Amino acid sequence: MKKLLTTALLAVAAALPALASAAEMSDGEVRKVSKDTAKVTIRHGEIKNLDMPPMTMVFQVKDPAMLDKLKPGDKVLFAAEKGAGGALVVTEIEVKP
């Protein structure tokens, strides 16, 4: 039983860094919304989980419906990660109040 508990705790501990980096939100400002290509251009601060400095770049979005609530000039919090083929994908985004 002790061995099983130790193994379970090690598995949880190993998963924590991945969960933390995936959930980390970055600040940004929407510059362009392209619904026809399911992409958004964001001027952003540092994206720590991608080790990316502040810049302006185009991201794919995980779900095209995310774009319905965005317009140029919106200040946002967003999460991004590398998708298939190395493309950068916004996985979460919310407009700041």
Residue ranges of domains in the chain, CATH in brackets: 25-95 (2.40.50.320)
Torsions phi, psi for 45 (to 5 deg): -80, -165
Grade residue 13 by pLDDT with cuts at 50, 70 and 90. low
Whether 23 and 50 have beta carbons less than 8 Å apart is answered as no
| DSSP-assigned beta bridge partners for residue 80 | 90
Grade residue 20 by pLDDT with cuts at 50, 70 and 90. very low
Residue type for position 45: G
Residue type for position 27: D
Residue 91 has pLDDT above 90, yes or no: yes
Residue-averaged pLDDT of the chain:
86
Whether 11 and 25 have beta carbons less than 8 Å apart is answered as no
